[in-house]
Amino acid sequence: MPAPLPHKEPRELDYALGDSVAALTGEDAADYALFLTSRAYIESSGLFLTKLMVSVATGGNYLPPSANFRGTMVSLVDLESGEIVWLGTTLQGDPREADQAGDIMERVFEQSPLD
């Protein structure tokens, strides 16, 4: 049994890709498709040090906002209805590093209905 989608409980919204995803089944007649999205915006150490110097120069009163973001999401989609039946997400790890990329996938698939 898939874990409940995070958006289902409080709002009762349905997320779907629509009937057109049925075209993805092809000759194999797949029932589901897995979509993976990973985004990483990672500041360089030089930019971080520059922001730190700005903070020190202003007496610690101003720290420029960080642009760092790391997020990975996996969606399991029913190809007949187009409904997203399961989501797995994590906001940790650096996907550029092989060991961390493996950890990201473990975290994303922890509650997966896939065995």
DSSP 74-111: EEEEETTT-BEEEEEEE--S-TTSHHHHHHHHHHHTTT
pLDDT at position 93 is 82
Q: Distance between CA atoms of 95 and 97, rounded to whole angstroms?
A: 5
Q: Where residue 12 falls among pLDDT bands split at 50, 70, 90?
A: low
- Tokens 């779907």 belong to 16
Distance of CA 87 to the CA centre of its chain: 9
pLDDT at position 2 is 47
Q: Is the pLDDT of residue 47 over 60?
A: yes
Q: Where residue 71 falls among pLDDT bands split at 50, 70, 90?
A: confident
Query: With pLDDT > 90 as the criterion, what percentage of the chain qualifies?
Result: 0
